[in-house]
Amino acid sequence: AYPDGSYVIRKDSYTDENSGISHIYVRQVVNGLEVADGNINLNIRNGQVLSYGNSFFEGSIKYSLLSTPNWHQAVYCSEPSTSPRDPACGGVLKHLQAISYQFDLSMFQESPLLAAYVFMQVAHPDPTSLVSSFASLKTKFQACTDPLGEGTSCDDWLVTGFSGGTKDIHARKVYVQTPGVDGSTNLNLAWRLEVALLDNHYKAYISVNDPTKIISVVDWVVDAPAPDSDGWLSTLQRHVFVQLQEAFSSQDPVDVGCSTNVSPDTHTSTQTAGKYCVWKWGINDPESGERTLEVVPKDRRASPLGWHSVPAENDPIGVNPGLKKGAIVNYTTTVGNNAIAQENWAGGDDWINNGRPDGGSDLVFDFPYGADPSEPGWEKVEPRQYRNATITQLFYVANMYHDLLYLYGFDEVSGNFQQHNFGKGAAEGDAIIVDAQDSRGFNNAYFMTPPDGQHGRCRMYIWNEAKPFRDGGLDAGILIHELSHGLSTRLTGGSQNSNCLRTGEAGGMGEGWSDFIATTVRSTSTYKDYPIGAWAANTRLGIRHFPYSTNTTINPSLYSLLQRIDYQEVHAIGEVWAEILYVVSNKLIDKHGFADSLFPSSESEFYRFVERKDGALTKVPKHGNTLMLQLIVNGMKAQPCNPTFMQARDAIIAADQTLTNGENKCTLWSAFASRGLGTDAKKVSFSIFPSIDGFEVPPDCK
């Protein structure tokens, strides 16, 4: 039924060890070229297809391979619904049109040179610094390294010659689907460009036949915006930041560490365990608790070598290049198999040579903070003075989160972030790079998620909403929010496709999952309403419209809020999804109780075993909050690329069916329906009422 019936099974397909479900990812191929957005995901157990998603092109190739793209930037800008102030239009569009008059476009259909030049002219923050002349740009053909395997043309080109710190641009011919008239879909031949800039990592699709026409752009970087601003740089802020760097770089905070403040549940230290003076896991920020000396990791399943050791062949820094394969490199700084943390006061792309605290041979990371109001002189302590404490905190939280998610199924085969995968499959060499006190801005944070095998990158910024300024890296909610983008992006649509949470509701849900998990981590058995970013932003209500609450007076969010103009931005969409998840989670807690820790204390206390229809036993978390986290992870694995709210809802309910034989079906439906996502909820044209509330549940739940 599909054009020439061609496809490839992607190499990131895998079988989930606990659920027994195989997640198969398929990419469509037409005329030997992949259809970049032609995906099928299949969820199979015991030979039965449990669910699937499908975005294959289904039209006729004969009438759909257009010589000129029917959808591109100019078409978007001409639509009545597009604001004349849209940054994609106006001067940018005129600039592209001017470029089109300078070149014979027919000369560049077999070369990505002009496509790369055109895109950089509108994407780079300072295009005048890029090239001395167009003639200085070069292309180079590369041998096939296609991650999809055999069966697709993998002509891969490099475009070189850009200056201004820009990396070489990778280019490949692909097809991309675009909307046609009367709801039809067309295929357009495009150059897919991978463009890595300092603050963005783009996958751009530029017409092969007319390289001045931009068809689509995806950014692998997601930002958490600042309150009442765009969360980006300003000349004044950068100038002030530089002055602060010079002003307090030589000062030291009062030396108040953790030496006499040891966590009561600390385990006995082992050779690969470190001691970290931190706000322990579950304490959201400096106002929510005291620092203690934590001895971790406590569970070797997720981190067999501990947090500071890597095999020599997977060493991210490369300090001992002469070591034989199999030798273990033991770091005494914040470098390890799961995360690599350092300061980034230069604000650049470099991380290998940036400063890190050293815990010595005993791995004791106990560094002063000094900015607590209980400490003398705290009001004069600025973030750079306690940078070692911050880097330690980032390293600790990132590793704790890695270990937690591993126990819930975000492991090697599903695409987690590790330098070494211990022979368990999938791509490796991609520990998360976490930057403390990044100087490129204030009141922000970001996470960049490339495909499996490439480092995730997290940048944490200082916030200037209080005096002294506060370090966003010490607000665990913000950090876990950012790290969760890596989870949701790698699991949705497969770990080799980072484009599956980038459109409409899908992009918003990426933000929503991040808020929800950050809230879940800090939740206690005593119910509370929770804001996001309240400490960093120095505002009681945080940086969202409402705190997360089951009380509709405090948080009235419904699915239909997505109709509103002020809820079209991804973080606002995410607020609605996170609130719905928070309500669902609390319904499960009402039914199953609350676990004081998301980490298993013992298998018998934490899990129960449910017999599947095939007779196999599946581990199921006993309590409502832990069960919800498991359903979130399993649902992400099963949902289609770029899901809607309703598809993500269905994936969670289906995850409960495969995990518990559906014992929570009616609880889940009731909770979703209470916020407008019932069986009769509707999503229609974005031009008129994009989301309509539905409060109905299935007949067998009434």
Give the pLDDT confidence of 675-695 residue by residue, as tens digits: 999 999 998 654 444 689 999
What does the pLDDT average to over 508-527?
Answer: 97
Residue 239 has pLDDT above 60, yes or no: no
Q: Per the domain annotation, does 95 fall within a domain?
A: no
In 403-525 the beta strands, taken as DSSP E runs, fall at: 432-442, 445-448, 457-463, 470-471
CATH number for the domain harbouring residue 667:
1.10.390.10
Q: Per the domain annotation, does 77 fall within a domain?
A: no
The reply to whether omega before 297 is within 30° of 0 (cis) is yes
Positive or negative: CA dihedral 395, 400, 406, 408: negative
What pTM value is reported for the model? Answer: 0.90
Q: Do 555 and 633 belong together in one domain?
A: yes
- The pLDDT tens digits for 385-424 are 999 999 999 999 999 999 999 999 999 999 999 999 999 9
Q: Do 251 and 388 belong together in one domain?
A: yes
DSSP-assigned letters across all residues of 313-367:
GG-SS-S-TTPPTT-EEE-SBSB-SSEEEEE-TT-SS--TTS---B-TTTTEE--
What does the pLDDT average to over 577-583?
Answer: 99
In the numeric block, which tokens belong to residue 84?
A: 């004349």
Residue 433 has pLDDT above 70, yes or no: yes
Q: Per the domain annotation, does 30 fall within a domain?
A: yes
In the numeric block, which tokens belong to residue 339?
A: 């995360």
Distance from C-alpha of 698 to C-alpha of 653, rounded to nearest angstrom:
12
Domain endpoint, select from 468, 498, 528: 498
Q: Do 490 and 530 belong together in one domain?
A: no
Q: Do 521 and 488 belong together in one domain?
A: no
Among 581, 670, 660, 673, which residue's Cα sits nearest to residue 623?
660
DSSP-assigned letters across all residues of 637-671:
HHSPSS--HHHHHHHHHHHHHHHHSSTTHHHHHHH
Active site residue 17: no
Q: Which residues are annotated as a binding site?
A: 223, 481, 485, 511
Domain endpoint, select from 35, 54, 73: 54
| 494: helix, strand or coil | coil
| 74: helix, strand or coil | helix
Q: Are 476 and 283 in contact (CB under 8 A)?
A: yes
Q: Per the domain annotation, does 81 fall within a domain?
A: no
Distance from C-alpha of 32 to C-alpha of 35, rounded to nearest angstrom:
10
Q: Which residues are annotated as a binding site for Zn(2+)?
A: 223, 481, 485, 511
pLDDT of residue 224: 52
| Run of H or E residues at 518 | helix 504-522
CB atoms within 10 A of CB 318: 10
In the numeric block, which tokens belong to residue 89?
A: 């239009």
Q: How confident is the model at residue 82 (pLDDT cuts 50, 70, 90)?
A: low
CB atoms within 10 A of CB 655: 27
CATH number for the domain harbouring residue 362:
3.10.170.10
From residue 22, alpha-carbon distances to 52, 514, 637 in Å are 11, 25, 10
Among 367, 310, 356, which residue's Cα sits nearest to residue 334?
356
Q: Do 372 and 307 belong together in one domain?
A: yes
Q: Per the domain annotation, does 534 fall within a domain?
A: yes
Q: Do 269 and 375 belong together in one domain?
A: yes
Q: Do 663 and 579 belong together in one domain?
A: yes
* Structural domain range at position 49: 3-54
pLDDT of residue 72: 60
Distance from C-alpha of 159 to C-alpha of 113, rounded to nearest angstrom:
6
- The pLDDT tens digits for 129-179 are 666 667 788 888 766 555 454 444 456 888 988 876 568 899 999 999 988
Percent of the chain, pLDDT > 70? 82
| Run of H or E residues at 104 | none
Q: Do 400 and 372 belong together in one domain?
A: yes
Among 96, 88, 101, 91, which residue's Cα sits nearest to residue 117?
96
Q: Do 521 and 629 belong together in one domain?
A: yes
From residue 571, alpha-carbon distances to 281, 462, 555, 557 in Å are 25, 20, 16, 13
Q: Do 682 and 570 belong together in one domain?
A: yes
- Marked catalytic residue, from 294, 343, 482, 575: 482
Q: Per the domain annotation, does 473 fall within a domain?
A: yes
- Angle subtended by helix axes 665-674 and 645-660, to nearest 10: 160
From residue 50, alpha-carbon distances to 39, 42, 56, 332, 657 in Å are 17, 8, 19, 47, 10
